[in-house]
Every structure is written in C-alpha cells, then in structure tokens.
C-alpha cells in the first residue's frame, strides 16, 4: 500500500495522464514508472504504454485478483472464523483469532486497508486453503488472457513465482470493473462494517473527480504499484503504473 509519507509524485503523474487522455491531449505526457499502460476500459484499446509487457513484481494490486475470485466463488454474507494462520506480515486490517466476520467485511479490509491478513482469510474462506485459492487465481488469469502473469499468494508479498505486467493488470482491471460489488467497495472512501471503521488508502479517490478505484501496492522489492480507473464524459479508462 502507499506509505503515509508518500509524496504523491507517482499519483500526480497518473492524474495528469488520466486527465490528458480524458480531454484528448496525451501527446506530451510521460510518467516516471518503469512500466505503465493506459487503456480504454470499454474497447480494450491501448492509448499509451511504456514497457507494458515487462514481467514485474506487483505487490498489493494482487488483491484485485483476490477480490475478483472471491466474489465469483464466495457469498458476501457467509461468516468466517479467523484463525492464527490468517495472520500475515505487512499491511493489516488487524484480524483477531476467533472473531467471526462476513466475506463482505473481509473484502472491505482487503480493498480499503490492503490487509494481508484479510487476503489470507479470504483465501481460506473461499478456497478452502490458500493453495486452492491461488490455483483459482491462476485459472482466472488464464481465462482473462493474462499470459505473462503468475500468482503465488493472495496478498502480493514478494515471491519469484508471483508477477504480472502492466498490460495484464489492465486486463484484470477491465474484468474487475464489470463487477458492481467490487466497484462499490473499491470506490468507497470510508466504511463502518463488522465493528470496524476502515478508510481507503487510495488517495486518488479524494484527488480526482471521476476516480473509481482500484488498488495501490507497495513492497520494498516491487516498489510502488498502482491500478486506477476513472470515468468522465462517458469515457472510462484504466491506468497501471509499476515501480
């Protein structure tokens, strides 16, 4: 996720890129990310790209896939009892062993708090095991045509077998934006549910009119990763920046 001290230079560049494309002025736009893409969400047409096919670590934007698979195979109001095995390093929604939460609450913790613990709990809840859930993630990636992607876990922690590309993540974002429940969650700034109040780490929701989400990411090895979607004047765009 984005550190609290993140100066928003990457987000600012993405804002500029989105704004220029939405108004038809993209010629002079450049971003600092080593890999990036801007795609028309409805047609799939690539409007801008920079090394968009390079395989890279993706950090917590992985959780878009986690949410897509969970919403396809799980039931929002089904409850899950948290276990000690659900705890994970890094960003957290601060699950406690023994508490009972619905899949909906876990998904808000996944998408707003970027909870690595939420990702493990979702995987156990929906897939029966992390391994079984990850298998479904990779099956979904193949179905979406994400030919240069491999998922090893549901939260995006660094692994040599866990990678994707800006192009593939744009394909995933297009699919994700077709799910109204996921869009509702990812675009929520603050929610109180399951005894928790959670605030979305995606600062673009507050900085850009028309921003619909989706997900921020960060690890030391992956650097900053970001998948964003925006809509203005009937045009919907998805932008991905990696490192």
Q: What is the set of active-site residues? A: 60, 63, 114
Other beta carbons within 10 Å of 126:
23
Partnered with residue 193 across adjacent β-strands are 196
Structure tokens at 163: 């990678």
Whole-number Å distance between alpha carbons of 223 and 230: 23
Query: CA angle, corner 109, sides to 107 and 111, nearest 5?
Result: 65
The DSSP result for 101-136, as a single string, is: EEHHHHHHHHHTS--HHHHHHHHHHHHSSHHHHHHH
Handedness of CA 126, 128, 129, 131 (dihedral sign): negative
Structure tokens at 171: 């394909």
Longest dimension (CA), the chain: 55
Q: How far is CA 11 from the centre of its chain?
A: 15
SS3 content of the chain, % helix, strand, coil (to 5): 35, 25, 40
Handedness of CA 176, 21, 240, 49 (dihedral sign): positive
């Amino acid at each position: 996720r984005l550190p609290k001290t993140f100066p928003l230079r990457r987000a600012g560049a993405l804002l500029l890129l989105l704004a220029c494309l939405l108004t038809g002025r993209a010629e002079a736009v450049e971003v600092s990310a080593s890999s990036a893409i801007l795609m028309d969400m409805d047609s799939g047409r690539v409007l801008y790209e920079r090394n968009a096919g390079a395989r890279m670590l993706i950090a917590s934007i992985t959780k878009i896939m986690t949410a897509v698979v969970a919403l396809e195979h799980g039931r929002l109001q089904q409850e899950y009892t948290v276990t000690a095995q659900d705890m994970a390093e890094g960003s957290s929604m601060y699950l406690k062993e023994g508490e009972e939460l619905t899949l909906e609450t876990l998904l808000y913790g996944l998408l707003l708090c970027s909870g690595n613990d939420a990702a493990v709990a979702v995987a156990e809840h929906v897939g029966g095991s992390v391994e079984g859930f990850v298998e479904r993630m990779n099956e979904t990636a193949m179905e979406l045509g994400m030919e240069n992607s491999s998922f090893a876990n549901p939260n995006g922690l660094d692994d040599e077998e866990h990678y994707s590309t800006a192009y593939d993540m744009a394909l995933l974002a297009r699919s994700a934006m077709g799910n109204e429940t996921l869009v509702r969650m990812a675009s929520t700034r603050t929610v109180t549910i399951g005894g928790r109040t959670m605030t979305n780490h995606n600062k673009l929701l507050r900085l850009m009119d028309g921003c619909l989400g989706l997900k921020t990411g960060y690890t030391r090895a992956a650097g900053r990763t970001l998948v964003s979607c925006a809509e203005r004047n009937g045009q919907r765009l998805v932008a991905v920046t990696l490192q």
